[in-house]
């Protein structure tokens, strides 16, 4: 289980900055981190990241960069200059792309965690087959995970169902960031490979990305507290 005292990353998947900042006002930066993804960043830009950081929050910039090595490296360098806590790339971009991203971040004054996306948690085996990958999702995750590790990345975005095997393979220092986490009884949405927060941490996850069960709750703060209590009981 994670030793980090802030394992929950709340996904601010909002269509504008206003609701994201409103929710941030109600949360404690000493107890959680925040994720800014494609929709919010595209609509609100770097300013929303800066505003969240000014409130004391560490931000995971979840843009999943996947491009030629030079372009990806430049994007990671820009993210580092923005001051984010964590940034990610697609491992399927290959070794040269990941190594270029690693070098770009290491060259800067601020060094965010650099992690790789393996197989999206929304994807099933049938969907992998449709794009020409005739393999089980877990096997593809491990293949890309080893490539990311060899390329010097700090960790992975992965399904909680793969966390135990990845933890055994790469040890305690490799970060495992787990989306697709749902409290018991919550709607699974478009996620396919899910676990409860307690199960994910017990399986070896370092951080839990949780969005709708908190952000769409009638009382988001109460929903967050409930998940925190579930985690505390499981430890």
In sequence order, which residues have a C-beta less than 8 Å from that of residue 228 and are 6 or more positions away?
Answer: 8, 31
In sequence order, which residues have a C-beta less than 8 Å from that of residue 180 and are 6 or more positions away?
Answer: 121, 122, 159, 160, 191, 192, 193, 194, 195
**Does residue 106 carry a catalytic annotation?**
no
* 69 among annotated binding-site residues: yes
Name the catalytic one among 4, 30, 62, 139: 62
**Does residue 62 carry a catalytic annotation?**
yes
CA distances from 193 to 32, 122, 133, 162 (A): 23, 7, 18, 9
* 212 among annotated binding-site residues: yes
State the Cα–Cα distance between residues 214 and 197, nearest whole angstrom: 13
* 191 among annotated binding-site residues: yes
* 67 among annotated binding-site residues: yes
* 15 among annotated binding-site residues: no
* Strands (E) located in the chain: 8-11, 33-36, 59-65, 86-90, 113-117, 155-157, 175-178, 207-210
* 197 among annotated binding-site residues: no
Sign, CA torsion 113/180/93/71? negative
Q: Coil, strand or helix: which one is 114?
A: strand
State the Cα–Cα distance between residues 61 and 207, nearest whole angstrom: 14
* 193 among annotated binding-site residues: no
Name the catalytic one among 28, 30, 64, 154: 64
Name the catalytic one among 6, 67, 139, 165: 67
* 64 among annotated binding-site residues: yes
E strand or H helix at 39, and its extent?
Answer: helix 38-44
Q: Quick one: angle between helices 220-234 and 17-26, nearest 10?
A: 50
* 35 among annotated binding-site residues: yes
* 90 among annotated binding-site residues: no
* 68 among annotated binding-site residues: yes
* 121 among annotated binding-site residues: yes
**Does residue 190 carry a catalytic annotation?**
no
* 174 among annotated binding-site residues: no
Binding positions for substrate? 13, 35, 62-71, 121, 182, 191, 211-212
| Binding-site positions | 13, 35, 62-71, 121, 182, 191, 211-212
Which sequence positions are flagged as catalytic?
62, 64, 67
């Amino acid at each position: 289980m994670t030793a980090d005292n802030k394992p929950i990353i709340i996904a601010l998947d909002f269509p504008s900055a206003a609701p994201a900042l409103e929710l941030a006002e109600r949360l404690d930066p000493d107890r959680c981190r925040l994720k800014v993804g494609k929709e919010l960043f595209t609509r609100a830009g770097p300013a929303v990241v800066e505003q969240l950081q000014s409130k004391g929050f560490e931000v995971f910039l979840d843009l999943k960069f996947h491009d030629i090595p030079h372009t990806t490296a430049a994007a990671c360098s820009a993210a580092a200059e923005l001051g984010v806590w964590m940034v990610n790339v697609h491992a399927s971009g290959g070794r040269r792309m990941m190594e270029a991203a690693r070098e770009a971040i290491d060259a800067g004054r601020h060094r965010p965690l650099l992690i790789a996306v393996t197989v999206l948690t929304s994807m099933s085996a049938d969907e992998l087959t449709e794009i020409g990958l005739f393999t089980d999702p877990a096997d593809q995750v491990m293949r890309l995970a080893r490539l990311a590790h060899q390329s010097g990345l700090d960790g992975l975005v992965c399904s909680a169902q793969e966390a135990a095997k990845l933890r055994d393979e790469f040890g305690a220092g490799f970060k495992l960031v787990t989306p697709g986490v749902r409290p018991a009884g919550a709607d699974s949405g478009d996620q396919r490979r899910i676990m409860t927060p307690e199960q994910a941490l017990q399986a070896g996850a370092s951080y839990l990305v949780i969005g709708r069960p908190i952000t769409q709750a009638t009382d988001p703060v109460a929903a967050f507290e409930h998940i925190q209590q579930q985690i505390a009981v499981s430890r």
